[in-house]
Amino acid sequence: MVDLKIQYDKISSQVDEAIGSVLKSTAFIKGPEVRLFEDDLQKYLGVKHVISCANGTDALQIAMMALGLKQADEVITTDFTFIATVEAIALLGLKPVLVEPEEASFNISPEAIIKAIGPGTKAIVPVHLFGQCADMEEIMKIAAKHNLFVIEDAAQATGADYTYKNRTFKKAGTIGHIGTTSFFPSKNLGCYGDGGALYTNDDSLAYKIRSISNHGMKARYYHDDIGVNSRLDTIQAAVLRIKLKYLEDYNSARNAAARFYDEAFSGCPDIRIPERVNYSSHIFHQYTLKILNGKRQALKEYLESKKIPSMIYYPVPIHLQEAYAFLRNRRKDFPITDKLCSEVLSLPMHTELDQEQLEYITTNVLKFFE
């Protein structure tokens, strides 16, 4: 699905040198590269504060802690996402309120959010799934009207642009009160281990986030908040500083591969290519087709026989996961998620797909439908 080897080979001399210099400095935790990377990412995103942490799941948890959400507060999020989004809510004793995505964009539906708002609602967590932003202008309007916090889970959308109706842009993750991301190796901006970050334009939230991610520590051994230990290590920061310089190129390469797939599949009646919304660029963390008429499993097996990997993101909606059985009483309320989970299939997508591979993949997909 992802080829990180060729990508590494192309930048290996820079990366090896950067890692080597961290090894020689022995500043493995809180070395200078961590702040330098935060500054670089801050400039790239056009946001006031970037605070790095250990991974994208921690980033979500720290965000909710920093906003002061309390036991049983309700947090609205999408039923069609990676488990981490809901996990962070549940771990803090908050109540996840799952709502449906839009069938076309895969992203949380603003209308569904409005219907789910009640007296206990405190926050909304939109997820920019597969690399395309949720409808943030609408979501921020709803949040302002009901006095809710918005945490953008931008783990799959580092570098995507959101376009407002007045044609101004903001980067994914910099629109809500807090944005979170992950630098897991296969993400669009990935390191060589675990990593994550939070973004905010609010000075006091930034202060709180920095404190919470470091044991709630204000000055050394003076603890103002109950915190966690969640840091980006120096080696990962050094790698990320290099990879950030290539992020735009990486996202363009993904778009070129997506266009190739689109052209090949657009005439096939059993396939729906990924729809693009007019308010966001797409950075194709995943290239996700809908395979209609019950043919997905047979296609997946056929591709396996041709040694073509494909993945189902996500096979089981959150409301049907064992651990979240306590949310299951609204089973009948999620027809769109159920449908998406039965139709989606993601094809190989990374920065190094060449013409020959793309031709092999598309030819075989089309052969299956002949």
Ligand X SMILES: *Cc1c(COP(=O)(O)O)cnc(C)c1O
For ligand X, the binding residues (CB under 6 A) are 55-57, 81-82, 84-85, 127, 153, 155-156, 182, 184, 194, 196
Place of tokens 């309120």: 97
Cβ proximity to ligand X, 156 vs 362, nearer residue: 156
Query: Please, what is the minimum distance in Å from the beta carbon of residue 178 to ligand X?
Result: 14
Query: Please, what is the minimum distance in Å from the beta carbon of residue 321 to ligand X?
Result: 15
- Burial (CB count within 10 angstroms: exposed 0-12, middle 13-18, buried 19+), residue 357: middle
Please identify the residue of the shown chain whose CB is closest to the bound ligand X: 56
Alpha helices in the chain (DSSP H): 4-25, 32-45, 56-66, 83-91, 110-116, 136-146, 203-212, 234-245, 247-265, 296-305, 335-343, 355-369
Cβ proximity to ligand X, 189 vs 264, nearer residue: 189
Cβ proximity to ligand X, 142 vs 157, nearer residue: 157
Cβ proximity to ligand X, 213 vs 362, nearer residue: 213
Cβ proximity to ligand X, 60 vs 271, nearer residue: 60
Distance CA 122, CA 57 (A): 20
The torsion angles phi and psi of 78, rounded to 5 degrees, stand at -85, 145
Query: Please, what is the minimum distance in Å from the beta carbon of residue 55 to ligand X?
Result: 4
Q: Which of 136, 133, 100, 132 is nearest to 340 (CA)?
A: 100
Cβ proximity to ligand X, 182 vs 214, nearer residue: 182
Torsion of CA 252, 254, 255, 258, to 10 degrees: 160
Query: Please, what is the minimum distance in Å from the beta carbon of residue 368 to ligand X?
Result: 28
Cβ proximity to ligand X, 277 vs 366, nearer residue: 277
Query: Please, what is the minimum distance in Å from the beta carbon of residue 72 to ligand X?
Result: 23
Q: Which of 295, 310, 304, 302 is nearest to 345 (CA)?
A: 310
Query: Please, what is the minimum distance in Å from the beta carbon of residue 57 to ligand X?
Result: 3
Q: Which residues contact 74 (CB under 8 A, 6 or more apart)?
A: 94, 95, 97, 118, 120, 121, 122
E strand or H helix at 232, and its extent?
none
Query: Please, what is the minimum distance in Å from the beta carbon of residue 311 to ligand X?
Result: 13
